[in-house]
Structure 1
Amino acid sequence: MVSLSPSSPLIWILAGEASGDVLGARLIQALRALDPHIRFAGVGGVRMEAEGFESLFPMRELAVMGLVEILPRVRQLSRRLNQAVDDIAAHRPDLVITIDSPGFALCLLRRIAGMGILRVHYVAPQVWAWRQKRVRKFPGLWDELLCLLPFEEAFFGRHGLKTRFVGHPVLQSGARDGDAGRFRATHGLADAARILVLMPGSRRSEVPRLLPVFGQMLALLKTRMPDVVPVVPVSPVVAATVEQAVRNWPVRPVIVTDVQDKHDAFAAAGAALTKSGTSTLELALAGVPMAVTYRVNPLTAFMARRLIRVPHVAMVNLLAGREIVPELLQENCAPEVLAREVQKLFENPTVAQAQKAAFATVLHGLEGPGGALPADAAARAVMDLLAARKA
């Protein structure tokens, strides 16, 4: 926490995973640009810590996903929830911001509802995708919801929830600004090497499900496309897990943890396989042809299929309203299926060009109001709430 005058505003922030850590860091920068005396406390990761933020406990302890995967850690998560609530009660911040991670974040917001503290949730829970009736539980949880997708403002507004669309932060991620030549030079890769980006996720609970399949796929590709070099961009939170998992791969991968290096890899890449989520938007911004693949515990998948109410899981497909990138999920997340799709992306220019043309339309719809950068729009929303409370 920044040591400034006790009279300066104190904002308590919760980020529960790598993507939220990035959003939190940008939001801290944008808030300081509006008021350099703001103090911060809460839970965050390395990106927020680089802004001088001191995390109450390691953010990585919250980075878990899946109905089955979370069960062994319920007791630990409960302890951390109690710790966060106690810290908020002790410090009495002017405003609490929870970023994504709805399982933990919404529990926290509910627990502090009676404290009279302003509450903002940043990144809308995707209830429009499955179990839409859950939206009925949200009134009273926050004073304002900051959403990233243009259709969310109307969806939550219909349910009487104060919501503001601030634009999608992928647009200021720098994903389109990579340098292909620098990436090849940094890692000693020949100009003829075909770069394949593999994005297994940012959570320790999900990475082990995709990496073995990627390794088996590479064994098939090694005979068909021997010049393919796999690149695995991961967050520092899961880097050690990834390094251990890829030791026996048939092709030595380049493991990337630096953000600029990741963007350089995007610029050099001819194709990508990625989990669903924001990574699809990052790759779209960089113009990388891709296929989306994912595998979870079979019980989790069974339950999800009964609950999901949207036609696509890949964010680029959902925003486009049609399948512009293949979705290879569960039983289709198989070595032979993935190998065929990767070969098609590299060797069929028509497929790659069609994807890139569709990406441009999708990304245009993610621009924030008035052309403001998403973090700036989010910071302004926070400052407006603080000003309204003082008025």
Structure 2
Amino acid sequence: MASRSASRALRLGTGPVILMLPGSRAAEVTRLAPVFGDVLAGVKKSHPGAQVLLPTVPAVAGLVRQMTANWPIAPMIIEDAAGKAAAFGAADVALAASGTVALELAANGVPMVIAYNLHPASILLMQWLALTDTASLVNLVSQTRVVKEYLGWGCKAHLILPTLLELIDQTDSTERLGQITAMQMTMLRLGQGGEAPGLRAARSVLAHLG
């Protein structure tokens, strides 16, 4: 749930706060930023006052600024650790690249939509090698499928938008409440506050796949 103190720290308005997380590698940002921008075009029609926060890392910060320059809602790009923590605390919902960032969102109770776009050949290889039907760590650890994923050929703005809008508009929806429960379960199973999150996640995923 969004924190008022975090919102104040970032000097945010009253519109919905969307966390955009297109990845920490150049290839991810290049593939996902255009899709995320198209999603925001739809969000802006329904929520003209929506605000976008985009925490990133120095290695791709320049690329992020370039790729988001024409987004219909200008993002607040954040590089420092304190700002990132405030962004996760202030967010109402997130659209994120598939990866361990889902655990950060879960730790902060931020409902999410997961997206990832790969080269078609990579998609086919992953499908062939797949041991599970989900890439979301929250889904894997909680043994649910409540976090919606739009991967590969399904990573399209017109498919992602309705799910994101539902999370924004229906704060008591079954999907949103289901995610909150799954996120709490995920952090409980990973032992929140104990071992390093990455190591906990790796061990948990291996256990569930085994």
Q: Answer whether TM exceeds 0.5 for this pair.
A: yes
User: 2:22, 2:32 within 8 Å by CA — same for their partners in 1?
Assistant: yes
Number of aligned pairs? 195
Counterpart of 2:135 in structure 1 is 313
Counterpart of 1:204 in structure 2 is 26
User: 2:138, 2:186 within 8 Å by CA — same for their partners in 1?
Assistant: yes
Q: Which whole-Å deviations, capped at 9, do the CAs of 1:108-128 have from their partners, x for residues lacking one?
A: xxxxxxxxxxxxxxxxxxxxx
What is the aligned counterpart of 2:80 among 227, 244, 258?
258
Measure the CA separation in 1 of the matches of 2:7 and 2:79. Answer: 13
Matches within 5 A, 1:273-352: 273-348=95-170, 349-350=172-173, 351-352=175-176
Which amino acid is 1:355 matched to? Q
User: 1:276, 1:294 within 8 Å by CA — same for their partners in 2?
Assistant: yes
Measure the CA separation in 1 of the matches of 2:68 and 2:48. Answer: 18
1:259 Cα deviation from its structure 2 partner? 2.0
Q: Which whole-Å deviations, capped at 9, do the CAs of 1:41-71 have from their partners, x for residues lacking one?
A: xxxxxxxxxxxxxxxxxxxxxxxxxxxxxxx
Q: Does 1:358 align with 2:179?
A: no
Q: Does 1:367 align with 2:197?
A: no
Measure the CA separation in 1 of the matches of 2:21 and 2:153. Answer: 18
Matches within 5 A, 1:1-391: 180-186=4-10, 188-190=11-13, 192-348=14-170, 349-350=172-173, 351-367=175-191, 373-374=194-195
Worse-superposed segment, 285-294 or 259-268: 259-268
- SS of the equivalent of 1:196 reads strand
1:180 Cα deviation from its structure 2 partner? 3.9
Specify which structure has the bigger relative contact order, considering alpha-carbon pairs within 8 angstroms and separated by 6 or more residues. 2
Measure the CA separation in 2 of the matches of 1:184 and 1:240. Answer: 26
User: 1:180, 1:265 within 8 Å by CA — same for their partners in 2?
Assistant: no
Measure the CA separation in 2 of the matches of 1:251 and 1:299. Answer: 33
Scaled by the length of structure 1, the TM-score of the pair is: 0.47
Q: Which whole-Å deviations, capped at 9, do the CAs of 1:239-272 have from their partners, x for residues lacking one?
A: 1110011111111111111222122112211111
Which amino acid is 1:189 matched to? L
Measure the CA separation in 2 of the matches of 1:280 and 1:185. Answer: 23
Identity percentage of aligned residues: 33
Which amino acid is 1:357 matched to? T
Q: Which whole-Å deviations, capped at 9, do the CAs of 1:126-172 have from their partners, x for residues lacking one?
A: xxxxxxxxxxxxxxxxxxxxxxxxxxxxxxxxxxxxxxxxxxxxxxx
1:300 Cα deviation from its structure 2 partner? 1.2
Measure the CA separation in 1 of the matches of 2:185 and 2:3. Answer: 24
Q: Which whole-Å deviations, capped at 9, do the CAs of 1:259-298 have from their partners, x for residues lacking one?
A: 2212211221111111111111110110001111110111
Q: Which runs of 5+ in 2 are unaligned?
A: 200-210
Worse-superposed segment, 209-218 or 344-353: 344-353
Which amino acid is 1:374 matched to? E
Which amino acid is 1:365 matched to? R
Q: Which runs of 5+ in 1 are unaligned?
A: 1-175, 379-391
1:185 Cα deviation from its structure 2 partner? 4.2
1:183 Cα deviation from its structure 2 partner? 3.7
1:367 Cα deviation from its structure 2 partner? 1.7
- SS of the equivalent of 1:273 reads strand
Scaled by the length of structure 2, the TM-score of the pair is: 0.86
Larger Rg: 1
Measure the CA separation in 2 of the matches of 1:329 and 1:205. Answer: 15
Which amino acid is 1:242 matched to? V
Runs of 4+ in structure 1 off by over 6 angstroms are none
Measure the CA separation in 1 of the matches of 2:28 and 2:70. Answer: 19
1:179 Cα deviation from its structure 2 partner? 5.2
- SS of the equivalent of 2:115 reads strand
- SS of the equivalent of 2:77 reads strand
User: 1:179, 1:263 within 8 Å by CA — same for their partners in 2?
Assistant: no
- SS of the equivalent of 2:179 reads helix
Which amino acid is 1:336 matched to? H
